[in-house]
Structure 1
Amino acid sequence: MTAPLGDEPLADDVADMYLHLTRITRTLRARAAGSGLSAGATASLWTIINNAPIRVTTLADAESVSAPTMSKIVGDLVDRGYAERVGDPDDARAKLVRPTPAGREVIAGVRLLRTRTLADALETLSPADRRTVDAGLRLLSDAISDRPGPSESNTEQKGITA
């Protein structure tokens, strides 16, 4: 059993790391904000692309929001022409969501902007520092993905990746 974070000797280090991860994520999102989509809509469209066709309820679970909130996000994506609702072949009453070519294009643009931002930052580092960053991110990514949180274990069973 894990001790509460406040009882761990590395609590300050963990808090600092979380702060740095948050700054990186916010910067990457801000630099790619030209798509006109909110961070939540961008993440949802990304998940739609990677898991299409997908039910709104499954999408809501994957994005950790309520079904009504996700319905609004999907409605906006449909209105913008980035996603479309299609019939579910397994349930005539249900609808699935899939991306449109325009939706795929907007996410490709966001990904390109975020990648360029990251590449520009990495260019300021020495080759040794870049290798250190790469190794550290790989270790952290593996450590986190090996320990699903309460909501992640549900989405992993459904084969969802964001």
Structure 2
Amino acid sequence: MQDEQTSETFADDVAGMYRHLTRITRTLRAKAAGSGLSAGGAATLWTIINNAPIRVTALAVAESVAAPTMSKIVANLVDRGYVERVGDPDDARAKLVQPTAQGRAVIADMRLVRARALADALETMSPADRDTVDAGLRLLSTALAPGLDSSDRQKDAIL
């Protein structure tokens, strides 16, 4: 009986934490909505910036979407001037995608808006509470992605 209660309490805790993480993510995403990019478009542009030049098929795998879906997202990013298609030096028939200066600027602006929103929220907390949030986020980040080194975490900071 004790194990059942512990398991239910743990499940409730996890559900509550997930709700909080979802609320934080949605709030930060909404703050940067002025870019006009969908969440998928922004995530794809971020992936392109951090992995360019990259094939659309590799993008689809990285973003866990079907290749035709990724082709549509990339076409939209090309139309907006955020990315460009370039020849693949290893395969003359293939194209790679890379960010434009405008695409890099959009992501930088989104990052700035989100960081400012986060900073504003943290400023309402005491130094001790900020330290607690920082420690908790570090622990959770490491537990979720134990193989990432500090350079990968730097890349993750873009969005």
Structures share fold, TM-score greater than 0.5: yes
User: Deviation at 1:139?
Assistant: 0.2
Tell me the distance in 1 between the aligned counterparts of 2:8 and 2:78. 46
Q: Deviations over 1:67-88 (max 9, x none)?
A: 1101000000000000000011
Question: What is the one-letter code of the residue matched to 1:85?
Answer: R
Consecutive unaligned residues of structure 1, counting only runs of 5 or more, are 1-6, 149-155
Which runs of at least 4 in structure 1 moved beyond 2 Å after TM superposition? none
**1:139 equivalent in structure 2:** 139
Tell me the distance in 2 between the aligned counterparts of 1:9 and 1:38. 36
Tell me the distance in 2 between the aligned counterparts of 1:80 and 1:136. 38
Tell me the distance in 2 between the aligned counterparts of 1:22 and 1:104. 26
Consecutive unaligned residues of structure 2, counting only runs of 5 or more, are 1-6
Question: What is the one-letter code of the residue matched to 2:88?
Answer: D
Structure possessing the higher relative contact order (Cα contacts under 8 Å, 6 or more residues apart): 1
User: Deviation at 1:8?
Assistant: 5.7
Q: Structure 1 stretch 50-59 or stretch 7-16: which is displaced more?
A: 7-16
**1:13 equivalent in structure 2:** 13
| Helix, strand or coil at the partner of 2:95 | strand
Same amino acid, percent of matched pairs? 76
**2:124 equivalent in structure 1:** 124
Tell me the distance in 1 between the aligned counterparts of 2:107 and 2:8. 39
**1:69 equivalent in structure 2:** 69
| Helix, strand or coil at the partner of 2:65 | coil
Question: What is the one-letter code of the residue matched to 2:81?
Answer: G
TM-score, with length taken from structure 1: 0.85
Q: How many residues align?
A: 145
User: Deviation at 1:92?
Assistant: 1.1
Aligned residues: CA RMSD: 1.7
Tell me the distance in 2 between the aligned counterparts of 1:42 and 1:78. 13
Q: Structure 1 stretch 131-140 or stretch 56-65: which is displaced more?
A: 56-65
Tell me the distance in 2 between the aligned counterparts of 1:28 and 1:57. 29
Q: Deviations over 1:24-52 (max 9, x none)?
A: 00000000000011011001001100110
Tell me the distance in 2 between the aligned counterparts of 1:131 and 1:108. 26
TM-score, with length taken from structure 2: 0.87
